[in-house]
Amino acid sequence: MTANRREMIGGAIAAAALAPAAASAVTTARQATGAGRALKVPAPARFTPDWESLTSGYSVPDWFRDAKFGMWAHWTAQCVPEEGDWYARNMYIPGTRAYKHHVKKYGHPADVGFMQIQNMWKADRWDPGRLLDLYKKAGAKYFMALANHHDNLDTYNSKYHAWNTTRVGPRRDIIAEWEKGARARGLRFAVSNHSAHAWHWNQPAYGYDPAGPRAGERYDAYKLTAAQGRGQWWEGLDPQQLYVGRHMPMPDGIRTEAEANAWHDATDGMWNEGVPAGNFAANWLLRVKDLAEKYRPDMVYFDNFDLPLEQYGLDFTSWFYNQSMKWNGGRLEAVVTSKVTPPQRRMGIVDDVERGGKNYIERFPWQTDTCIGGWHYDIDTYNNDGYKTPANVIHTLCDVVSKNGNLMLSVPMRGDGTIDDKEEKVVNGIAEWMGRYGEAIYGSRPWKLNGEGPTRPNSGNFSEGGPKSPYTARDVRYVTRNGNLHALVMGWPEDGIARMTLLGQDNPTMAGQIQRVMIQGDNTPLPFKRTAEALEVTLPQGARHEIGVPLVISGNGVTA
């Protein structure tokens, strides 16, 4: 889940296509009737696999719009080395951190390939119930489990792909255990599918060192066959099915990670715009249908630019919507997401922004996905205190929901199935704030403007900042709920007075009459005055919270 040039450019184009023309990214938003309030449309009796059917008949279900906050276990065998993202690919690229680590700890990739690491993934300390209890305490209303990554190992009892975790590594149906635990705790359940990338992503495993003592010697994927598995742990499995066959080799002469990533970007069009040869795409469709049929997720997340594999992605999405109505007595409860979704398709699926956001109120519900560290567990992040703070997460959530979005947050897991003590501290910090103030977030809808203040986050994929939050008490985000206006103050003012300039008496933004202001969860009215310049609310010191407080503002016309 690392940015490529196409996704970065596509995100900018999509944002520009729908963003308002005004200069302010915070205080200006689309003010047309219905902005941020996607209209419900009646679903057809049956969806057909084309964009016209999806965009004319789909409405995002209320459960997703109300949930606002989900948590994700982005967990694969790539967490075993604890060396960060894309280990399964980068370990075959000389000069990279992953390659150096692999040679030192496991051996040369000609001798020990990534399929061996997959079998080292034992999940021997994994307690899904404990983690789900922690995530529910943190305020998550839905939970997502990774069903497969680009390395092409299914984490469930896959009918159409023998390389899965019931036969390799943990020898457990990971998705089944996550699903059972999530449902038992009243959480909506989602799965993420990344395997459409596998047909190109594994190609470095067919390469070789361009220099050094083993120059020219092919890595494991090039030479392994099913017959060689006799008597091995992988007997009966074909490595070529895992690595998908050699069809897009890296050119000779690539020696560094930078050169490999340049090749990755230059060939990106071949990966996203065409359907791979052979039966890979057809098998992918069988696998993802099997996944949905077995576990009946409420949401399927695709880690793709638009829907994966052209018509195959459309075939799945229409089928999934039809199945959802079948499973739910005619109600369409399904969500499908993709990244950098073209604006004209955002009424047919949910647009997802990876590690970023939007600078306007999106008309159609959307989601941002991010992680408190890297996507795969990285010991360097732990040692260097590189995790996001609870304030960063909560402030991101406030900003996202003010723009009609949801936040999906991943917590990196170690190969054994645990999270570390620093991660647990972050999650508990999120839980403390959400336990007090989460009701200001859930079920909310955007106001006419999303917010005010000096901090204006970047927009588009991979645009988020560092682990610490840049927001202050001068930054406020607005949502509406139950006829009230919620002002999400993103910090604690030094003088104890929260000031909202958009709500000043002379500001035409809010012409209603303010009658009462409270802190979410406390019915005690707060002292306030509305001057020409701002609404000023005196906050009780006993409610002090460095992350900030949500104010509930009621009165005639405050949400108009």
Give residue-wise pLDDT tens across range 326-382.
999 999 999 999 999 999 999 999 999 999 999 999 999 999 999 999 999 999 999
Give residue-wise pLDDT tens across range 206-221.
999 999 999 999 999 9
pLDDT of residue 279: 87
pLDDT of residue 259: 72
- Interstrand relation of 513-519 and 549-556 (parallel, antiparallel or unpaired): antiparallel
User: What residue has token string 């995530």?
Assistant: 135
pLDDT of residue 33: 36
SS3 label, residue 70: strand
pLDDT of residue 199: 87
The fraction of the chain above a pLDDT of 90, given in percent, is: 85
This prediction's pTM: 0.91
Span of 8-12, 256-260, 325-329 with lowest mean pLDDT: 8-12
Burial 515-527 (b: 16+ CB within 10 A, else e): eebbbbeeeeebe
- Beta strands in 228-306, from DSSP E residues, in sequence order: 299-305
Rounded Cα distance between 97 and 91, Å, is 8
pLDDT of residue 17: 36
pLDDT of residue 274: 46
Average pLDDT over residues 129-144: 98
Q: How confident is the model at residue 267 (pLDDT cuts 50, 70, 90)?
A: low
Rounded Cα distance between 157 and 152, Å, is 14
Can you say how many angstroms the Cα of residue 284 is from the centroid of all Cα atoms in its chain? 21
pLDDT of residue 127: 98
Higher pLDDT, 274 or 476: 476
> Where is 260: in which H helix or E strand?
helix 257-266
As given in the structure block, the two tokens for residue 112 are 């020990």
Give, as one character, the DSSP assignment of residue 374.
-
CA distance to 49, 77, 224, per residue, from 238 (Å): 33, 18, 8
Which are the contacts of 458, defined by CB distance < 8 A and separation ≥ 6?
A: 356, 357, 359, 464, 465
H helical segments located in 332-389 = 379-383
pLDDT of residue 262: 67
pLDDT of residue 40: 86
- Beta strands in 392-496, from DSSP E residues, in sequence order: 405-410, 445-452, 476-481, 484-489
Three-state SS annotation for 375-391:
CCCEHHHHHCCCCCCHH
pLDDT exceeds cutoff 60 at 47: yes
Higher pLDDT, 258 or 314: 314
pLDDT exceeds cutoff 80 at 477: yes
Average pLDDT over residues 90-102: 96
Give residue-wise pLDDT tens across range 282-330.
999 999 999 999 999 999 999 999 999 999 999 999 999 999 999 999 9
pLDDT of residue 246: 80
The fraction of the chain above a pLDDT of 70, given in percent, is: 88
Q: Confirm if 118 and 168 have CB atoms less than 8 A apart.
A: yes
Q: Confirm if 92 and 457 have CB atoms less than 8 A apart.
A: no
pLDDT exceeds cutoff 90 at 265: no
Which residues, in sequence order, are bridge partners of residue 368?
A: 353, 407
pLDDT exceeds cutoff 90 at 418: yes
Rounded Cα distance between 308 and 256, Å, is 29
Average predicted confidence (pLDDT) for the chain = 90
- Give the relative orientation of helices 174-184 and 128-137 as an angle to the nearest 10 degrees: 40
